[in-house]
């Protein structure tokens, strides 16, 4: 019924899906199941035989789902591939839970590596300053920031609250460099250009803290860069954690950049009335700066809307931004989910 060639094609298919050990294991399991299914075929109870048995007792109940499934899987490589994929992702989810990579309530804890590149003593920021940044990320992403009470009534119903994404400092890598000023060109992410190579970016969220980037407070890669050498966030030392550099002194540059890292776009969609692909953030004409007073109205497509300038993905001062929306939370969870591009970040 199954030629060796067909079996060979199937093995290739399994190998193509993924080539890590766990997935190979599931592939091998699927093959074993196929074999078992073939030899068992004569032993299967046919509908006719079932009918000849006396009906009604619990022992004789028969659920043919698995048998039907086995036949379907044998006959369709596409179905088999989907089955293997589901088992692999389920297995990853179960493993993450048992190893503590996700907390009991489903919160994903992301391990963070902070790479400090310093020229002056001030740029070699203290462990306390690093800790203050991690604490701010956990408050802002947990919806436990002290200024949540400033969210206008109008937006309270769409506030994200707890995004169920947490951050845990795994290690700090410190390196002295002769570079006085950096540009947003990833040089700081390579040892060969006086920077520091990322630490295992497929499994750790890398942050580079650099001395100075001129007018740029920070920048980030998006999830399509997951696991690449340059994947992560860069922040200038003066704006990392709680600092004395108002109005960017509350660690919200990192909150904003981590938003990008987890697939959030600017709330104005980087264009005039453009989209951020989030339904509950009202369309904006442009970015906002400073400390706008509520409400502010933007007209897009002839419709005037009260805008959510207090969102972390706008450009207002640190003290003027204090919320993600529920729609933004959904986008970030899609990225950190077992099936998402940043699933590899589940705590090691």
Q: Which residues are catalytic?
A: 257
CA atoms within 13 A on the CB side of 313: 31
Stretch 234-253 residues interacting with ligand ARG (CB under 6 A): 248, 252-253
Q: Are 274 and 268 in contact (CB under 8 A)?
A: yes
The string of DSSP letters for 319-334 reads: GG--B-BHHHHHHHHH
Q: Which single residue brings its beta carbon nearest to Ca ion?
A: 281
Q: Which partner, ligand ARG, Ca ion, none, binds residue 276 by CB below 5 to 8 Å per kind? A: Ca ion
How far is the first Cα of the chain from the last one, in angstroms, to the nearest whole number? 45
- Return the one option of ligand ARG, Ca ion, none that residue 274 interacts with (CB less than 5 to 8 A, by type): none
One symbol per residue from 248 to 277: x for binding ligand ARG (CB under 6 A), - otherwise; what is it? x---xx--x---------------------
| CA distances (Å), origin 242, targets 123, 167, 227, 261, 313 | 14, 17, 29, 21, 19
Binding mask 149-168 for Ca ion (x = CB under 5 A): --------------------
Q: What is the DSSP letter of 184?
A: S
Pairing of strands 233-236, 218-220: antiparallel
Query: How many CB atoms sit inside 10 A of residue 316's CB?
Result: 20
Q: Which of ligand ARG, Ca ion, none interacts with 294 (beta carbon under 5 to 8 A by kind)?
A: none
Both tokens assigned to 185: 């060109």
199 binds, among ligand ARG, Ca ion, none (CB under 5 to 8 A by kind): none
Does 216 sit near ligand ARG (CB under 6 A)?
A: yes
CB 29 within 8 A of CB 90: no
Helical pair 21-40 and 65-75, crossing angle rounded to 10 deg: 110
Position 222 contacts ligand ARG (CB under 6 A): no
Number of residues near ligand ARG (by CB under 6 A): 12
Q: Can you tell me the distance from the alpha carbon of 144 to that of 129, in angstroms, rounded to the nearest whole number?
A: 19
Identify the residue among 317, 334, 338, 344 touching ligand ARG (CB under 6 A): 317
Query: Considering only residues 217, 237, 267, 343, which one is a binding residue for ligand ARG as defined by CB under 6 A?
Result: 217
315 touches ligand ARG by CB under 6 A: yes
Quote the least distance from Cβ 289 to ligand ARG, whole Å: 9
| In contact, 118 and 211? CB cutoff 8 Å | yes
Q: How far is the CB of 318 from ligand ARG (least distance, A)?
A: 5
- Which of 139, 203 has the CB closer to ligand ARG? 139
Binding residues for ligand ARG, rule: CB under 6 A, are: 216-219, 248, 252-253, 256, 315, 317-318, 321
Binding residues for Ca ion, rule: CB under 5 A, are: 276, 278, 281
């Amino acid at each position: 019924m199954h030629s060796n060639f067909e079996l060979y094609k199937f093995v290739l298919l399994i190998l193509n899906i993924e080539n890590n050990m766990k997935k190979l294991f599931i592939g091998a399991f699927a093959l074993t199941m196929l074999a078992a299914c073939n030899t068992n075929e004569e032993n299967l109870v046919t509908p006719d035989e079932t009918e000849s048995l006396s009906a009604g007792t619990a022992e004789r109940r028969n659920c043919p789902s698995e048998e039907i499934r086995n036949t379907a899987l044998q006959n369709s490589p596409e179905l088999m591939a989907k089955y293997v994929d589901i088992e692999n992702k389920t297995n990853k989810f179960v493993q993450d839970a048992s190893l503590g990579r996700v907390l009991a309530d489903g919160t994903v804890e992301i391990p963070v590596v902070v790479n400090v590149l310093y020229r002056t003593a001030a740029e070699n920021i203290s462990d306390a300053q690093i800790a203050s940044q991690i604490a701010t990320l956990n408050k802002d992403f947990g919806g436990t920031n002290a200024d949540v009470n400033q969210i206008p009534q109008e937006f309270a119903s769409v506030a994200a609250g707890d995004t169920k994404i947490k951050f845990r400092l795994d290690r700090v890598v410190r390196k002295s460099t002769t570079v006085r000023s950096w540009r947003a060109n990833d040089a700081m992410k390579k040892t060969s250009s006086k920077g520091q190579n990322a630490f295992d970016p497929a499994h750790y969220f890398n942050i580079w803290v650099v001395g100075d980037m001129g007018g740029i407070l920070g920048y980030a890669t998006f999830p399509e860069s997951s696991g690449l050498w340059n994947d992560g966030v860069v922040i200038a030392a003066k704006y990392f954690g709680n600092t004395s550099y108002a109005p960017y002194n509350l660690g919200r540059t990192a909150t904003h950049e981590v938003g990008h890292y987890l697939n959030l776009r600017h709330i104005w969609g980087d264009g005039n009335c453009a989209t951020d692909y989030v339904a509950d953030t009202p369309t904006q004409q442009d970015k906002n700066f400073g400390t706008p007073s509520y409400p502010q109205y933007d007209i897009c497509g002839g419709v005037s809307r009260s805008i959510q300038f207090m969102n972390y993905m706008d450009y207002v001062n640190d003290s003027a931004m204090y919320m993600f929306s529920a729609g933004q939370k959904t986008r970030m969870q899609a990225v950190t989910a077992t099936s998402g591009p940043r699933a590899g970040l589940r705590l090691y």
